[in-house]
Amino acid sequence: MSDWKIRRAPTIQTELEVPGDKSISHRSVMLAAMSNGPCVIKGFLPSEDCLSTVSAMRALGVKIEQADETTLIVHGVRRAFTKPKGDIDCGNSGTTMRLMAGILAGQPFRSRLVGDASLSKRPMKRVIEPLTRMGAKITAEGKDGRPPLVIEGGKLKPIQYVSPVASAQVKSAVLLAGMFAKGKTSVTEPTQSRDHTERMLEYFLVRPQKQGLTVSVFGEQTPESREFMVPGDISSAAFWLVAAAAQPHSRLLVKNVGLNDTRTGVLAVLIRMGAAIREVIENPQAEPVGVIDIQGARLRGTEIRGAEIANVIDEIPILAVAAALAHGKTIIADANELRVKETDRLAAIAMNLRAMGAQVAETEDGLEIIGGTPLKGARLDSFGDHRIAMAFAIAGLFAEGETTITGTACVNTSYPGFYDTLEKIIRQPPGEQTHVVTSLPTH
Ligand code: S3P
């Protein structure tokens, strides 16, 4: 179904689980593929983006079995990949393209990475530049460093890279390339971005070093094959967290969710806005995992800027919806990175919020939202961006009348099953608590 029709929802009293973390799912397949034997990955997110990484790895000669919907067995090839027969299609996934570019930079063969229309518009100079300095030859066939990318890899030299952007994708591309270079490769970032690659290297016994905002890896090590458990994705949970936070008397428990503190900025923001939140880490493995317990309130505006932006980079669309529902002014600044995501998210958020009657001003690097004007249902486009579609579906739960979201197929890139959960929440009988485990697609 490509259009969603959404109406105002009752107070939320629910427990739920969300599918596996997207960033961690990508990395688990890549590291396992580089390892020295079979790795069982549980809780894998079988979304279109992560499946692009699975097919990319298969194209490089890695055997990957799918034992069930969310369990993969990846047979590591000891960093010895084989030349792909054709192009590697990264679909909509920026993480696949940028991280694969790092791995392919270190391979003694030529490869070509392609993507869909949205990915073909995204900037790749940010990875081309450091990988070229390491010795790879990369040609961007698109305008101004845009995909497709032709990579002629080979012997790499280690570099000390100071990244101009706080981007986990850039950091990871350089670190993964560093695995194929002789010696120590370092990346320094301007502010802390998600640290899943570093944690996973550590877990697969490739001892990275971390000092402040610099991470280093010693190359030519082969990750040790191990079982890995992917926690639920806090970026997917964020939609339900806001749905509960913005409604006094709502109560939501999210179980088995990743609580890595480079990703939990959304909780800090919602607490500042007035929600009551408790998080309990139950199982600190490679990644901390636990429960979030949230109680709704009358939210108030806040400021989100500076170093916090990287921590909430994927949550800005849904936090902008929370801001529109809150009383007072919310300022989002230093968020120019949102202009180069799956779509220009600042423009998309401003357009859709305005269509719902909210007061919003778009600035060069952010948004200013005066919350509290009642939202009205509208016909809204996803702009082909999964997080815009889901954020505005949640806005629809608070709007007067019906909200239609068009172009929702993109949601399968990160959260297959989102709409099923939404329907269960909408249909929940008043006063009754339900337990919703997001079902994953059966096709
Ligand atoms: C991701 C990093 C972030 C994020 C994206 C996933 C990752 O992108 O927005 O959804 O898995 O490394 P940037 O590194 O471009 O900020």
Would you list the DSSP string of 279-324?
EEE---SSS-EEEEEEE----B--EE-TTHHHHTTTTHHHHHHHHH
Q: 177 and 273 in one domain? A: no
Q: Determine if ligand 1 sits within 6 Å of the CB of residue 23.
A: yes
Q: 32 and 15 in one domain? A: no
Q: Determine if ligand 1 sits within 6 Å of the CB of residue 337.
A: yes
Q: 423 and 276 in one domain? A: yes
Q: Pick from 176, 191, 206: which residue ends a domain?
A: 191
Q: 187 and 55 in one domain? A: yes
Each residue's pLDDT expressed in tens, for the chain with a length of 443 residues: 589 999 998 899 999 999 999 999 999 999 999 999 999 999 999 999 999 999 999 999 999 999 999 999 999 999 999 999 999 999 999 999 999 999 999 999 999 999 999 999 999 999 999 999 999 999 999 999 999 999 999 999 999 999 999 999 999 999 999 999 999 999 999 999 999 999 999 999 999 999 999 999 999 999 999 999 999 999 999 999 999 999 999 999 999 999 999 999 999 999 999 999 999 998 778 999 999 999 999 999 999 999 999 999 999 999 999 999 999 999 999 999 999 999 999 999 999 999 999 999 999 999 999 999 999 999 999 999 999 999 999 999 999 999 999 999 999 999 999 999 999 887 766 555 555 654 443 33
Q: Considering only CA atoms, which residue is closest to atom 11 of ligand 1?
A: 23
Give a yes or no: residue 224 inside a domain: no
- 182 C-alpha to ligand 1 centroid (Å): 27
Give pLDDT, residue 2.
83
Q: Which atom of ligand 1 is nearest to the CA of 314?
A: 9
Q: Considering only CA atoms, which residue is closest to atom 15 of ligand 1?
A: 167
CATH code of 140's domain = 3.65.10.10
What positions carry a catalytic annotation? 314
Q: Pick from 191, 219, 253: which residue ends a domain?
A: 191
Give a yes or no: residue 227 inside a domain: no
Residue closest to 295 by CA, chosen among 226, 359, 245, 260:
245
DSSP state of 144: G
- 95 C-alpha to ligand 1 centroid (Å): 6
Give a yes or no: residue 211 inside a domain: no
Q: Which atom of ligand 1 is nearest to the CA of 167?
A: 14
Strand ranges (E), 146-195: 149-152, 160-162, 184-188
- Which mutation among 48, 90, 169 tests ligand 1's pocket best, with the greatest number of atoms within 8 A of CB? 169
Q: Pick from 191, 224, 242: which residue ends a domain?
A: 191
> Is the Cα torsion angle 361, 365, 371, 377 positive or negative in sign?
positive
Q: Determine if ligand 1 sits within 6 Å of the CB of residue 233.
A: no
Q: 42 and 8 in one domain? A: no
Q: 267 and 173 in one domain? A: no
Give a yes or no: residue 346 inside a domain: yes
Helix, strand, coil distribution of the chain in percent, nearest 5: 35, 25, 40
Give pLDDT, residue 413.
97
Residue 143 has a CB neighbour count (10 Å cut-off) of 8
- 49 C-alpha to ligand 1 centroid (Å): 12
* CA separation, residue 196 to residues 18, 203, 226, 290, 368 (Å): 18, 10, 16, 16, 31
Residue 268's domain spans which residues? 4-20+232-437
Give a yes or no: residue 293 inside a domain: yes
Give a yes or no: residue 225 inside a domain: no
Q: 418 and 320 in one domain? A: yes
Q: Determine if ligand 1 sits within 6 Å of the CB of residue 169.
A: yes
User: What is the enclosing helix (H) or strand (E) of 328?
Assistant: strand 328-332
Q: Considering only CA atoms, which residue is closest to atom 13 of ligand 1?
A: 167
Q: Determine if ligand 1 sits within 6 Å of the CB of residue 414.
A: no
Q: 139 and 30 in one domain? A: yes
How many domains is the chain built from?
2
Q: Map 101-120 to HEC letters.
A: HHHHHCCCCEEEEECCCCHH
Amino acid at 214: T
Give a yes or no: residue 198 inside a domain: no
Residue closest to 43 by CA, chosen among 256, 292, 239:
256
Q: Determine if ligand 1 sits within 6 Å of the CB of residue 95.
A: yes
- Which mutation among 45, 90, 167 tests ligand 1's pocket best, with the greatest number of atoms within 8 A of CB? 167
> Is the Cα torsion angle 243, 263, 39, 83 positive or negative in sign?
positive
Q: Which atom of ligand 1 is nearest to the CA of 168?
A: 14
- 69 C-alpha to ligand 1 centroid (Å): 24
- Which mutation among 92, 95, 98, 314 tests ligand 1's pocket best, with the greatest number of atoms within 8 A of CB? 95
- 265 C-alpha to ligand 1 centroid (Å): 14
- 227 C-alpha to ligand 1 centroid (Å): 24
Q: 275 and 126 in one domain? A: no
- 414 C-alpha to ligand 1 centroid (Å): 12
Give pLDDT, residue 310.
98
Q: Considering only CA atoms, which residue is closest to atom 10 of ligand 1?
A: 314
Q: Considering only CA atoms, which residue is closest to atom 16 of ligand 1?
A: 167
- 421 C-alpha to ligand 1 centroid (Å): 25
Q: Determine if ligand 1 sits within 6 Å of the CB of residue 314.
A: yes
Residue closest to 198 by CA, chosen among 262, 256, 154:
262
Give pLDDT, residue 40.
98
Q: 155 and 15 in one domain? A: no
Q: Determine if ligand 1 sits within 6 Å of the CB of residue 93.
A: no
Q: Determine if ligand 1 sits within 6 Å of the CB of residue 241.
A: no
292 in Cβ contact with 256 (< 8 Å): no
Q: Determine if ligand 1 sits within 6 Å of the CB of residue 14.
A: no
Q: Determine if ligand 1 sits within 6 Å of the CB of residue 311.
A: no
Q: 317 and 256 in one domain? A: yes
DSSP state of 356: T
Q: 71 and 160 in one domain? A: yes
- 426 C-alpha to ligand 1 centroid (Å): 31
Give a yes or no: residue 208 inside a domain: no
